[in-house]
Amino acid sequence: MSIPHSDNTTGALFEAIARGDEHAFKMLFEQYKSPVYAVAFKWTKIDVAAEEITQEVFISIWTSRVQLAAVSDPRAYIYTIVYNKVSRHLKKEAARARILRLSLWNAKAWSNETEETVYNNDGQKFVNKAIAQLSPQKKTIYELKRQQGKSYDEIAQTLNLSPHTVKSHLLKAIRFIRNYVKDNALLLGWLLAVLHS
């Protein structure tokens, strides 16, 4: 799915948003959230990353809204923001992966540890530790969704929340777990390198 072609309607929404019209911003969000997400997911291949990028794109549009009235091609403007967010995400992930690979390679030169062994031994441990640090509500939602396979609607009914709130909490929980595991795996790589150097 590609971002829709620019038209007079989007231009009008841009002008209204530039004046601080929140309703116009919501309309723009509803019109473009799916194609923006699709572009982000095409490049990242990760649902949570695509969700984060989509949110960041619209946050950027809103925080820079005073500039929108002067934008001649709204579609190109939105696509440029998406490109910049995706590019930044990919560079950050590539840098993390590169550092981790180098760390593990250095450690393997002095021991029999391998990247696979590291993740098999410690990956789930990091996940469990991350889950333990979640708030009770986020932890419950994560376990109901990921471990019991409940739908957003089922979780919402169980916890007396809206499906949107459930999804929001789950995304935050997954983001926290993912970052915790990455940061600790990276730290582990460095520790192995230091201990065996």
d(CA 104, CA 115): 6
Question: Looking at the domain assignment, is residue 71 inside a domain?
Answer: yes
DSSP 105-132: HHHHTTSS--HHHHHHHHHHHHHHHHHH
Same domain, yes or no: 118 and 177: yes
Same domain, yes or no: 151 and 77: no
Question: Looking at the domain assignment, is residue 103 inside a domain?
Answer: no
Q: Does the pLDDT of residue 9 top 70, yes or no?
A: yes
Residue 83: burial class (beta carbons within 10 Å; 0-12, 13-18, 19+):
middle
Q: Would you report the helix, strand and coil content of the chain in percent, each value rounded to 5?
A: 85, 0, 15
Same domain, yes or no: 143 and 177: yes
Same domain, yes or no: 77 and 120: no
Question: Looking at the domain assignment, is residue 95 inside a domain?
Answer: no
Provide mean pLDDT across the span 82-92.
87
Alpha helices in the chain (DSSP H): 8-18, 22-44, 47-63, 74-108, 115-132, 136-142, 152-159, 163-195
The single residue listed with the structure tokens 């419950």 is 140
Question: Looking at the domain assignment, is residue 105 inside a domain?
Answer: no
**Which of 24, 59, 90 marks a domain boundary?**
90
- Residue 15's pLDDT band (cuts 50, 70, 90): very high
- Residue 112's pLDDT band (cuts 50, 70, 90): very low
Same domain, yes or no: 72 and 27: yes
Total length of the chain: 197
CATH of the domain at 30: 1.10.1740.10
**Which of 59, 90, 121 marks a domain boundary?**
90
Which domain does 60 fall in, by range? 8-90
* Average pLDDT of the chain, as a whole number: 78
Same domain, yes or no: 53 and 12: yes
CA distances from 3 to 38, 50, 55, 130, 186 (A): 9, 15, 15, 36, 36
What pLDDT score was predicted for residue 102? 59
What pLDDT score was predicted for residue 116? 46
Same domain, yes or no: 86 and 116: no
Question: Looking at the domain assignment, is residue 98 inside a domain?
Answer: no
Q: Does the pLDDT of residue 17 top 90, yes or no?
A: yes
What pLDDT score was predicted for residue 7? 59
Question: Looking at the domain assignment, is residue 99 inside a domain?
Answer: no
CATH of the domain at 136: 1.10.10.10
Question: Looking at the domain assignment, is residue 32 inside a domain?
Answer: yes
Provide mean pLDDT across the span 33-56.
89
Query: What is the number of structural domains in the chain?
Result: 2
Whole-prediction pTM value? 0.50
**Which of 90, 121, 155 marks a domain boundary?**
90
- Residue 5's pLDDT band (cuts 50, 70, 90): very low
